[in-house]
Chains A and B, each alone.
Chain A
Amino acid sequence: MILDGKVPSGPIETKWNTYKDHINLVAPANRRKHTVIVVGTGLAGASAAASLGELGYNVLALTILDSPRRSHSIAAQGGINGAKNYKNDGDSIYRLFYDTVKGGDYRAREGNVYRLAQVSVDIIDQCVAQGVPFAREYGGLLDNRSFGGAQVSRTFYARGATGQQLLLGAYSALMRQVDAGTVKVLPRREMLDLVMVGGRARGLLCRNLISGEYERYAADAVLLCTGGYGNAYYLSTNAGNCNVTAAWRCARRGAYFGNPSFAQIHPTCIPESGTHQSKLTLMSESLRNDGRVWVPRQTGDKRNASDIPESDRDYYLERRYPAFGNLVPRDVASRAAKAVCDEGRGVGATGRSVYLDFADAIKRLGEDVVRERYGNLFDMYQHISGENPYQAPMRIYPAIHYAMGGLWVDYNLMSNLEGLFVLGEANFSDHGANRLGASALMQGLGDGYFVIPYTLGNYIGGTRLEAVTTDHDAFKEAQDAVDKRIKGLLASKGGKSVKELHRSLGRVLWDRVGMARNRAGLQQALKEVTGLRGEYQKNVRVVGEGQTINKQLEYALRVDDYMEFADVLVRDALDREESCGCHFREEYQTEDGECQRNDAEYAYVAAWEFKGRDQEPALHKEPLEFKSAELKQRNYK
């Protein structure tokens, strides 16, 4: 099936305003009659729930955590892009749009990206009004810094904790609506199924993570703001509770999964130190503003960094990409790091890391300025590694970080299931095959504050929604199925822990669907994933009981979903016989080892339809058109 993204017609500059001028509206007095469920309270969910509450809708906001303030958006460090052009350096809405489409290697939808660039300026204003303590210059104006994939400074930041400050801003707006009685927050709840009535998303079933009870909620629309699926790879920079379950359960109900193989690998993470490792920690890309990436020129050079003279160092990013230098996009920087390590020039005990060196910056700016800019990141590095980055260079290596793929949505952010909207990282729409730094925060907040209040109103205002209550058979059917699944898992007393099997799955994905992919490896991965899925069913061991806090059971349900999801992730990588952004197929590369896209055959969004466990999914395509950003080979040289 050919999918329609429903992008409004007309010039790209006026699409969004024209759209807003002609959509259906819901009158203020009627809004409270409509219940909306928001799943997830990160930047997208909290901003959506708060904004819809302000409008007067009756909002239920669910989070798996004990408070909305802890959602993983909080860990974003570097900043948020906004096309303000405060720096007078040539930025504009068009340029942010262009950089984002190009950065995504021409696999995002133009209409959505342009809208995102347009609302980016409003986001900054909104956050300032909420009291977000952005970095300021001495004169009191907002400060900016530069980020990868751009030649302007458009990134607003709050030290190295921008995500925290933006989330706390959205969270405070959310709690204000709790105070006002328009939003009810339901913490420690995990969505385990989507409830469809009459072909529309009309509610969900969740598990109360304290009591283990099932809870049913009916609504006029469901907004999924549940983040990305990086943890399918076992080790990632994601928080422990990030998972694919809510999205995958929607996929099982018929929502298409868009571009699942587009998983971003971030170049600057603290390298793995052993098998005990439960997560990898990101060091903000902003560090590449002042840090220089290098490895020894010769293979097998085991000298300490300080003993290696300049002449024996290879600043490989500056050498290969003189125009962008250390600030090339993430996919390019990650592959370059892998390449030098594969050549045997990696550093550290494992040889799987490269240096990120601040010696020049400290010499140029002084230690105090470096501390002011990156102090908390340096402290974090020191806590984790036990090494002092003011004295010796950091060691970094790429790690899974962000999911560009996600549930397919149209211009309204609505999935192919009517009434199911998907916001933020959970959808596929804005970043194509590679996300630029400081754009995730922008998208989460753009979707929540400035897009969904309009598109949701358009849906509710233009749809006759019959009353649905939680005693509808569809809720009972969902609850019975979830109960059966949970009882099955609790009865599983096999030989391997959930963690062991998850680690095995992650190893397959990282090795074969990571920074470099090829047909034979992907075919092998497909077999291995099928094998692991079978093993999981037969040999997993789940301890504890259902009617209490049981983190093993929560984990077991999530890994069960990764086992199914991994199949479509691998198939997507196999189907796309080209290289683009994060998706580097070794068969398709230019002479100097860069991505070789195939626009004639693959300029589409791959949207996968689940057909049943161990069944081949169906592929639907949304053709991508590039009218405002000309299709070109990316060049950061």
Chain B
Amino acid sequence: MSTMTVKVRVWRQPSPDKEGRLVDYTVGNVVADMSFVEMLDVLNEQLVAAGEDTVAFDSDCREGICGSCGCVVNGVPHGPGTGKTACQLFMRAFTDGDTLVVEPFRAKAFPVLKDLCVDRGAFDRMIAAGGYISANTGAAPDGNQLLIGKEIAEKAFDAAACIGCGACVAACKNASAVLFVSAKVGQLSYLPQGQPERYRRVVRMVDQMQKEGFGACSNEGECEAVCPKEISTLHIQIMQRDYLRSVLRGA
């Protein structure tokens, strides 16, 4: 298999309180079947051999479902191509001699911890602010007592497919998290189980989003374009409609 050499310009930042900068590296022996994060592994092995600190990046499942990985490659969260995470970006998308500029997801609400690792704890806090159905263990009725049409189940799944990676925030010029919030609000609003808490939920989650320092939505759709799960911006309309209704009802 033929190999290629790429130039990698990576954001290096030792800690949240120190300044970062872009540092240039050259990575050889790159093959087409290698994923982008495997290419970073190769770079890190070079750094180990040289006795230097490795590039810190989050990565776990390496099959596009855990949402751990994420960085901006050549200006695009998760890099070129659609419907995939950085770990599912393969080096066949690049050619010999290319330069890859690699930066962390940037948003006020996602402080950089080190190099490409950011703190996405805000996402957890937004889910804690009502992104659930209150159903204590042991109290559930038979699963088939609730009839849920196939179309509704599929629609709820489409929203529930969100992996919480944060690419939507990184792509948005306002660093808004509405796609993330609306995916959870949408999933639970479509399902009958989610109705009792529907209006309380949307208000609490949206308020938490604002508290975390995410920006507002200006309907440009960059979030959907980079979303690895191709979550639709249609859920945002549901969220906004529910939010408005809640406010009008004084929920």
Instruction: List residues of chain A with CB under 8 Å of any chain B CB.
Output: 47, 50-51, 54, 65-72, 74-75, 84, 86, 122, 124-131, 133-142, 158-159, 161, 164-165, 168, 171-173, 175-176, 178-179, 185, 187, 210, 239-241, 273-274, 276-279, 281-282, 379-380, 383-386, 449-450, 453, 493, 497-499, 541, 543-545, 548-552
Q: When the two chains form the complex, which single residue of A66, A74, A130 contacts B193, counting CB atoms closer than 8 Å? A: A130
**What are the 3 tightest A-B residue pairs by CB atom distance, in nearest-first order?**
A140-B147, A172-B132, A129-B140
**Contact in complex: B114, A549 (CB < 8 Å):** yes
Q: Report Cα–Cα, A136/B151, bound state, in Å.
A: 9
Contact B60 A70 (CB under 8 A): yes
Residues 55-69 of B, flagged 1 when their CB comes within 8 A of A and 0 if not, give 010111111111110
**Given A74-B66, A274-B31, A543-B52, are A67 and B123 also a contact pair (CB < 8 Å)?**
yes
Contact A384 B147 (CB under 8 A): no
CB-CB under 8 A from B47, the residues of chain A are 543
Chain B, range 115-164, C-beta contacts under 8 Å to A: 115, 117, 119-121, 123-124, 127-144, 146-150, 152-154, 156-157, 160-161, 163-164
Contact of B65 among A124, A164, A383 (CB under 8 A): A164
Stretch at the interface among B37-45, B95-103, B168-176: B37-45
B4 at the interface (CB under 8 A from A): no
Is A54 touching B136 in the complex (CB atoms < 8 A)? Answer: yes
Q: Report chain B residues within 8 Å CB of A50.
A: 137
Residues A126 and B41 in contact in the complex (CB < 8 Å), given A172-B132, A172-B133: no
Contact B140 A126 (CB under 8 A): yes
A383 and B90 form a contact (CB under 8 A):
yes
Chain A-chain B contacts (Cβ-Cβ < 8 Å), number:
229
Q: Is the CB of A379 within 8 A of B83?
A: yes
Q: Does B5 contact A (CB under 8 A)?
A: no
CA distance A239 to B88 in the complex (A): 14
Q: Is the beta-carbon distance between A386 and B124 smaller than 8 angstroms? A: no
Q: What CA separation (Å) do A353 and B56 show in the bound complex?
A: 34
Q: How far is the CA of A549 from the CA of B16 in the complex (A)?
A: 11
* Listed A/B pairs (16) with beta-carbon separation below 8 Å: A65-B60, A65-B66, A69-B127, A70-B67, A75-B63, A75-B66, A129-B139, A130-B135, A164-B161, A176-B134, A187-B124, A281-B63, A384-B90, A499-B48, A550-B56, A552-B54
> Smallest Cβ distance from B115 to chain A, in angstroms?
8
A131 to B54, CA, bound (A): 41
Q: A70-B66, A129-B135, A543-B53 are in contact. Are A161 and B148 (CB under 8 A)?
A: no
CB nearest neighbor in A for B147: A140
Q: Is B248 an interface residue (CB 8 A)?
A: no
B90 in contact with A239 (CB, 8 Å): no
B35 partner residues in chain A, CB cutoff 8 A: 278, 384
Return chain B residues, CB-CB under 8 Å to A70.
60-61, 66-68, 164
Q: Determine whether the beta carbon of B56 is less than 8 Å from that of A551.
A: yes
Contacting B34 at CB < 8 Å: which of A140, A210, A276?
A276
Would you give the shortest CB distance from A57 to chain B, in whole angstroms? Answer: 13
Contact yes or no, A493 B164, CB < 8 A: no
Residue B84 interfacial (CB < 8 Å): yes
Per a CB cutoff under 8 Å, which of B140, B152, B160 touches A122?
B140
Is the C-beta of B213 less than 8 angstroms from some C-beta in chain A? no
Within B71-91, the residues touching A (CB, 8 Å) are: 83-84, 88, 90
Distance in angstroms between the alpha carbons of A133 and B150 in the assembled complex: 10
Partner of B68, one of A65, A139, A274: A65
Chain A residues in 8 Å Cβ range of B49? 497
B127 touches A75 (CB 8 A): no
Q: Is the CB of A274 within 8 A of B157?
A: no
Q: Chain A: which residue is nearest B84 at the CB level?
A: A383
In the complex, what's the smallest C-beta–C-beta distance from A277 to chain B, in angstroms? 7
Given contacts A128-B193, A138-B150, A140-B150, contact A178 B128 (CB under 8 A): yes
Number of chain B interface residues as a range = 35 or more
Kindly identify which residue among B15, B64, B84, B123 contacts A548, using a CB–CB cutoff of 8 Å.
Answer: B15
Q: Taking A176-B132, A276-B31, A276-B34 as contacts, is the C-beta distance between A125 and B140 under 8 angstroms?
A: yes
Bound form: Cα–Cα A556–B19 in Å: 28
Give complex CA distance A551, B34 in Å. Answer: 21
Contact check: which of A66, A168, A453 meets B120 at CB < 8 Å? A66
- Answer whether residue B33 sits at the interface, using C-beta atoms and an 8 A cutoff: yes
Known: A133-B160, A274-B31, A552-B54. Is A128-B61 also a contact (CB below 8 A)? no
Pick the residue among A136, A277, A453, A498 that contacts B153 (CB under 8 A): A136
> Closest Cβ of chain B: how far from A101's Cβ, in Å?
25
B42 touches A239 (CB 8 A): no
Q: Which residues of B contact A128 (CB under 8 A)?
A: 140, 143, 146, 193
In the complex with contacts A175-B127, A543-B53, A551-B54, A497-B117 CB distance below 8 A: no
Shortest CB-to-CB span from A302 to chain B, Å, is: 18
Known interface pairs A126-B138, A142-B144, A499-B45; A72-B60 also in contact (CB < 8 Å): yes
Please pick, from B68, B114, B127, B150, the residue contacting A136 in the complex, using a CB distance under 8 A: B150
Contact partners of A185 in chain B: CB under 8 A: 124
A126-B135, A159-B157, A541-B48 known; A131-B65 Cβ under 8 A: no
Which of B14, B31, B161 is the most central at the interface, judged by chain A CB atoms within 10 Å of its CB? B161
Please determine whether B149 and A140 come into contact, CB atoms closer than 8 angstroms: yes
A380 touches B33 (CB 8 A): no
Q: A133 to chain B: which residues have CB within 8 Å?
A: 153-154, 156-157, 160, 187, 191
| B241 at interface by CB-CB < 8 Å | no
Instruction: Return the chain A residue nearest B155 by Cβ.
Output: A133
Counting chain A CB atoms within 10 Å of each CB, the highest count among B44, B60, B83, B133 belongs to B60
B144 close to A277 (CB less than 8 A): no
Identify which of B44, B83, B132, B163 contacts A130 (C-beta below 8 A): B132
Contact A131 B191 (CB under 8 A): yes
Known contacts A128-B140, A176-B132; can you find 13 more A-B pairs with CB under 8 A?
A: A65-B68, A66-B58, A69-B124, A75-B61, A129-B135, A131-B188, A134-B143, A136-B153, A138-B149, A281-B63, A449-B138, A543-B53, A549-B117
Separation of A150 and B183 alpha carbons in the complex (Å): 36
Contact check, A449 vs B137: say whether CB atoms are below 8 A apart: yes
A276 touches B42 (CB 8 A): yes
A54 adjacent to B66 (CB under 8 Å): no
Contact A69–B67 (Cβ < 8 Å)? yes
When C-beta atoms are compared, the residue in chain A nearest to B191 turns out to be: A131
- Interface pair B191/A129, CB less than 8 Å apart: no
Check B92 for interface membership: any CB of A closer than 8 A.
yes
A66, A142, A384, A449: most-surrounded residue (chain B CB, <10 A): A66
Asked if B51 is at the interface (CB within 8 A of a chain A CB), the reply is yes
Distance in angstroms from A442 CB to nearest chain B CB is: 14
Q: How far is the CA of A140 from the CA of B147 in the complex (A)?
A: 4
* Residues of chain B within 8 A of A240, CB atoms compared: 59-62
Would you give the shortest CB distance from B203 to chain A, in whole angstroms?
Answer: 14
Q: Which residues of B contact A122 (CB under 8 A)?
A: 138, 140
A544 touches B61 (CB 8 A): no
* B133 and A131 contact, CB distance less than 8 A: yes
Residues in chain A near residue B53, CB distance under 8 A: 543-545, 550
Which residues of A have CB within 8 Å of B65?
74-75, 161, 164
Complex CA gap A164/B141 in Å reads: 23
A277 to B54, CA, bound (A): 19
What residues on A are CB-neighbors of B41 within 8 Å? 276, 278, 499
> Which residues in chain B, 177-220, are within 8 Å of chain A measured between CB atoms?
187-188, 191, 193-194
Per the bound structure, the CA–CA distance linking A182 and B49 in Å amounts to 46
- CB of A6, distance to nearest CB on chain B (Å): 24
